[in-house]
A = this chain, B = another copy of it.
Amino acid sequence: VPRRDEPLETTLQTSGRRLTGQRRLIVDLIREHGGHLDANELYRLARRHNPRLSLATIYRTLALLRDLGLVDEVHLGEEHHHYELKPVLEHGHMVCLGCGTVLEFSSSLLTRLKSEVEQAYAFTVTEAQVDLSGYCTACRPAQTTAP
């Protein structure tokens, strides 16, 4: 079982960056909420703890964490980005078009897909993003069609 607290401090220090309260707060929030938060949600939550914190800091911190490889930036649905702590195991997302819920799934096929593509196309995969849109059990019957 990997520890999840240290990477932040270690990685920041290694690259000459500082461990600020804001950064710790933002990482904690992402962790608590299991990811899938967007910048604005994060901003709202963060202000409850530190009302002076700015949206710009949210964005700057997210970009930093992404560059350091600590969080993944995912593109769900049509909208803006969502962020989650770098997952230990490969997984994809299911987005319900009815209620908007985001669920994670994992499957060995995901890993297999990666290796298959790497071999077949001589392409080195560094990251895989797999998003399935559709309807969860609750929303399936109510499936409103027509544009």
Chain A contact residues: helix, strand, loop or mixed: mixed
Instruction: Point out the residues of chain B lying under 8 angstroms from A92, CB to CB.
Output: 117
Q: Residue A28 at the B interface, CB < 8 A?
A: no
Q: Residue A3 at the B interface, CB < 8 A?
A: no
| Cα distance A132–B130 in the bound complex, in angstroms | 8
Contact of A126 among B107, B114, B122, B135 (CB under 8 A): B135
What is the minimal beta-carbon distance from A142 to any residue of chain B, in angstroms?
Answer: 12
| Cα distance A122–B81 in the bound complex, in angstroms | 26
Chain A 106-126 interface mask (CB, 8 Å, partner B; 1/0): 010110111011101111111
Q: How many copies does the complex hold?
A: 2
Q: Residue A19 at the B interface, CB < 8 A?
A: no
Q: Residue A75 at the B interface, CB < 8 A?
A: yes
> A residues 46-100 with Cβ under 8 Å of B?
64, 67-68, 73, 75, 78, 81, 92, 94, 96-97
Q: Residue A10 at the B interface, CB < 8 A?
A: no
Contact of A129 among B64, B105, B130, B137 (CB under 8 A): B130
Q: Residue A128 at the B interface, CB < 8 A?
A: yes
**A97: nearest residue on chain B (CB-CB)?**
B126
- 15 pairs, CB–CB < 8 Å, chain A vs chain B: A75-B75, A78-B81, A94-B117, A94-B125, A97-B126, A118-B134, A122-B137, A125-B134, A126-B134, A127-B133, A127-B134, A128-B133, A129-B129, A130-B130, A130-B131
